[in-house]
Structure 1
Amino acid sequence: MAGTEQTVHPDGRVELTDRAAIADSRYANAELAPTRMSERKWTTYNYTALWMGMAHNIPSYLLASGLVALGMNWLQAFLTITLGNLIVLVPLLLNSHAGTKYGIPFPVFARAFYGIRGANLPALLRAFIACGWFGIQTWIGGQAIYTIVGELAGSGWSNAATISGQPWTLWLSFLFFWALQMWLIWRGIEGLRRFENWAAPLVTVAFLALMIAILVKAGGLGPILDQPSKLGWDADFWKIFAPALMGMIAFWATLSLNMPDFTRFGKGQRQQILGQIIGLPTTMSFIALVSIITTSGTVLVYGSAIWDPVELTTKFESPVVVTIGLVMAILATMSCNVAANVVSPSYDFANALPRFLNFRTAGLLTGIIGIVIQPWRLIADPSIYIFVWLSFYGGLLASVAGVLIAGYWFVDKTNLQLAGLYLPGSRYWYNAGWNWRAVVATALGSVLAVGGAYSAPGAGPFPEDGLIPFLQPLYDYSWVVGLVAGFVVYLALTLPASRRSTATTQATAGI
């Protein structure tokens, strides 16, 4: 096919030699096209700062404080979160490789295995989950704004008339914060990079200040660390540990798929790998430790675990302290939300309608869906947050990760035809744009992972004995089940066909 050659640079990164080859394709636009080498300038610091911004946020804090609220002591909660992030780092780095090598975002990467049209299945699945996260983060940021204004304006603001169970001033704060984030995403990916670079360190300082304030009130670190676990280390702990670990892994399951959206801008594999190794496990362990110490301290100071940092900040008497703390909370939320929950679905929605949606308009669509999902319901309870929301979608996305890892590393051995990812009739067109093998592997992996979803009586939307009762035991390990099932099924369906194709090609060449 004329004009579809690709240039392999000495460091292994690949660039499309002639971009005109895909210019007229209905499956390409400016955002989805491979990144030019001149645009690939993110350094190790940029990726470290990106993860600091994404990890140092209120939902990350809620992740750790939620485990304390469920009965774990500081050591149990810390080990659970740290182990979860070390595990999820593996598929995250494996899928990041393609973004750096080929300069492509996640939905284009998925085309190699799901088909040019079929890639919309994993892309939209990931996009709608990101919309849910965007809504959750925006609601939290709106709460912080509502609280700040209440401290300054008085009870007239805080005790305003209610609409649908919430003060109308809270709804106004929510919508204002939503608009602020839409403005940031309208500035584009480069504006996001600059924002992350200066916001991330400020957020870290804010969380440390909150922890120190609680330590002073609690009388130091000793009383906090001496608190026993309500679960012990026997069956009660292990019953919660497995699903909690899956929730910790699932927290970044979305990024383990779509990290190519960011690594496509990397200067090289070393920069993105080192930046992510420094960024994810260390920053998540740090925020977990800060959150655990702070939440455990609230048990001593206030008599019960306050797992929401916005609520905790309001306990301080000084309006200046409250305002500074909540401004930092707003920065933390914006830093994570725009990077983790708007960039990806913007690419994903644009992939579905590349001729009608670009990065900015798709970002606006993400924001609208994030409101429709009603995020305030998802974070009303730590059990719903960890065991329903995180565990369920984690199992779904894990099956997609299994397909991508199997296809890229074991079937194609990291070798892709760059132009073919955008052109009908290429090797990635499969059958009418769909690869049924990837769809079957994803569907089967998802059913095995979440088909047994269950909830304790009165603690969630699922039946007590599971949606599919005989699969109930697998739900406690939803992410692992989904990853392994998607990986194994895709290889089982693809490798025999791949070997037959290779044998046919060799036989033809020998005629």
Structure 2
Amino acid sequence: MTQVIRAIWPSYLDIPNRLPASAGITSQQLVSHLLFWSVQFPILLIPPHKLRWFFVAKAVIVLAAGIGTIIGMTHLAGGTGAIWDQQPTVHGSTRAWLILTSMSSLTGGWATMATNVADFTRYLKKPSAVYWQIFLVPFVCTLLGLFGIIATSCSKVVYGEYIWDPLELASHWNGPTGRTAAFFVGVAWVIAQIGTNLSANVISCSNDMTSLFPKYINLRRGAIITTVIAGWIMVPWKIVNSAQSLLNFMGALGIFLAPIAAILGCDYWFVKHKAIDVPALYRRHGRYNYGSKWGTNWRAAVALIVGFVPNLPGMAAAVNPKVKIGGAKYVYDIFYLYGFIATFALYLVLNKLFPDAGTVIPAAIHEETIVINGQETVNDGLHEFSKGPVTYISSDDAKV
């Protein structure tokens, strides 16, 4: 947002700072944050199933901005720069662990989407449509990463330093042509950030709150609560104030979300074999309470603990370098790989050794039978029935 405004009014950058250094943000940056939040707010109130147009537009605009940036920078640099000729400065096991650490950090950035992707796939017209993600997500991420490497390499030639931040790169573009380019690139990244906030934060959190408190919170109210908490109360500018704090934050997410994603995937595909009793998911005393007072699946709890606890010392050391943890740091270097694989394997083994027969059914149940005025009727959840005494026949006893 700062680049968009300064491209039109360069004096915007001259706004005096009235905030102390401890705030972690300047007055001008706070104004930009407020303006961005205000632009984003009405879009967050649109129901998710009506946002397809926005995400399509985002994909096209961001890709166009990336291509335009690459073309402009390679033209100014007279090529792609010398980054391709650089030799590694680390070797052996140090290099191998650095690669694994980078992979884990990158994967951790997708941890929320890996866990909450069902909040979006639920709107697909057919289940098979999700398989395109297997090809498109890695392709797009690799392409944008390549764009970033090329632009950074060119920045060394043009500006004498490596600039990884695309918005910092745009801040060097002056003059009529440069500011015009900075404006359009700024708009593209504003749209991209709104899309990220929608997909990775607001929609998922709103769905969770709606499920927990359906009497009081709907998707719109959930979106409002989420954007106020995440946009202001959590002071997000302090989280992204430095690269290290951002990596620590992403790691903290990943060490908990990797085991959760592993349990979800393993349970659906390898334990339940896609045979789910959907109505029972919404019953407090249905088959999925696992015979527990609190409805707890102890197998999942054990696997979850094993998946994230060994990563806690590494996270503590990442936050406070004075903490010495010895070889435990290597576990944290692969926090997502360890958390996912260890949890997945243990959860599968526990279910093989100690299966809960009541939760394993031969085929999926998508509807239930209810008795209205003495007559059995299929309740598919899509139709309303006339008033009268209603009795629910537990899907635990349904024929499959």
Common fold: TM-score over 0.5: yes
Q: CA RMSD in A?
A: 2.3
Q: Choose which of 242, 245, 250 in structure 2 pairs with 1:381.
A: 242
Count of residue correspondences: 351
Q: Choose which of 288, 293, 302 in structure 2 pairs with 1:440.
A: 302
Matched residue of 1:451: which SS?
A: helix
Aligned to 1:160: 16
Aligned to 1:237: 95
Q: Counterparts of 1:40-439 in structure 2 under 5 Å? A: 145-155=1-11, 157-165=13-21, 166-221=25-80, 223-274=81-132, 276-317=133-174, 318-370=178-230, 371-386=232-247, 388-430=248-290, 431=292, 432-439=294-301
Structure exhibiting the larger radius of gyration computed from Cα positions = 2
Deviations 1:228-271 (A, max 9, x none): 04525544432421111101111112111111111111122322
Q: C-alpha distance in 2, partners of 1:355/1:309?
A: 44
8 Å CA contact 1:451–1:472 kept in 2: the answer is yes
Aligned to 1:57: none
Q: Relative contact order (C-alpha < 8 Å, sep 6+): which is higher?
A: 1
1:220 CA displacement: 0.7
Q: Which runs of 5+ in 1 are unaligned?
A: 1-144, 504-511
Q: C-alpha distance in 1, partners of 2:130/2:118?
A: 10
Deviations 1:441-484 (A, max 9, x none): 212211123433365xxxx5234455x55633211111111112
Q: Which runs of 5+ in 2 are unaligned?
A: 361-400
8 Å CA contact 1:465–1:472 kept in 2: the answer is no
Q: Counterparts of 1:18-37 in structure 2 under 5 Å? A: none
Amino acid at match of 1:306: I
Q: C-alpha distance in 2, partners of 1:226/1:308?
A: 19
8 Å CA contact 1:200–1:335 kept in 2: the answer is no
Deviations 1:162-206 (A, max 9, x none): 324433232122122113222112111133212112231111111
Change (3 A) 1:302 1:229: farther
Q: C-alpha distance in 2, partners of 1:248/1:448?
A: 20
Q: Choose which of 291, 315, 320 in structure 2 pairs with 1:462.
A: 320
Counting aligned pairs with the same residue, the percent is: 26
Q: C-alpha distance in 2, partners of 1:367/1:218?
A: 41
Q: C-alpha distance in 1, partners of 2:212/2:359?
A: 32
8 Å CA contact 1:158–1:167 kept in 2: the answer is no
8 Å CA contact 1:206–1:325 kept in 2: the answer is yes
Q: C-alpha distance in 2, partners of 1:206/1:259?
A: 26
8 Å CA contact 1:403–1:486 kept in 2: the answer is yes
Matched residue of 1:162: which SS?
A: coil
8 Å CA contact 2:281–2:288 kept in 1: the answer is yes
Amino acid at match of 2:40: Q
1:321 CA displacement: 1.9
TM-score between both structures, scaled by the size of structure 1: 0.64
Q: C-alpha distance in 1, partners of 2:240/2:253?
A: 15
Q: C-alpha distance in 2, partners of 1:263/1:273?
A: 11
Change (3 A) 1:449 1:161: closer
Q: C-alpha distance in 1, partners of 2:305/2:236?
A: 26
Q: Does 1:452 align with 2:314?
A: yes
Q: C-alpha distance in 1, partners of 2:76/2:13?
A: 29
